[in-house]
Amino acid sequence: VGVRIGNRGGSYKLLTLFPETADALAPSLLGRDPLSGLFTRAWWERESEEVWNRVSGSIVFLDLDGLKQVNDLFGHQEGDRLIADAGRFIHQAAQKQNGAAVRYGGDEFLLVLKDHTDDEAAHLAETLVRQFSEFEAIASKVPSTFSFGVAAFQPGELKSAVAEADRRLYEQKGLVLPS
């Protein structure tokens, strides 16, 4: 990341800030999370208003179960591998359905599906969870899976659908979000 400073006699000096992280920052500046390969939450906040809030579909809110335990027991490299695997599976599901895949938080992801009912999205999520769990049972030191919540949305209802899918995710985990 560089910044021009000075303007004496038409000459500029390029000051490089954080040169070792410039390559790592580039994908997130462009809207991609470098670890999972998915769109970032910042990208989502922008696109959700400009594009997704104008269509109907369903949101699948996914939570990668047990990431903290994987990090604590086997180190962050194993946790990073798990996030990368999760990103790959979610991205493939989004591509097949002409949807979008977003890393929403540390171990939280959105799968956004245009023109899908909540039943169709739930079926897709169940398939994704099964395939991911089967893969991780072989590839990982600790078998991993997702919890998920699904909510349908109509134009203009996207934010409330994300909140509802999040609530249903916690409900699936046996937890209750405060009102």
- Tell me the catalytic residues: 107
DSSP string across 41-74: HHHHHHHHHHTGGGS-EEEEEEEETTHHHHHHHH
Tokens matching residue 58: 């369903």
* CA angle, 128 then 130 then 131, to 5°: 65
Q: How far is CA 50 from CA 35, 102, 155, 161, in A?
A: 25, 16, 11, 16
- Residue 61: CB atoms within 10 A of its CB come to 28
CA 127 to chain centre: 18
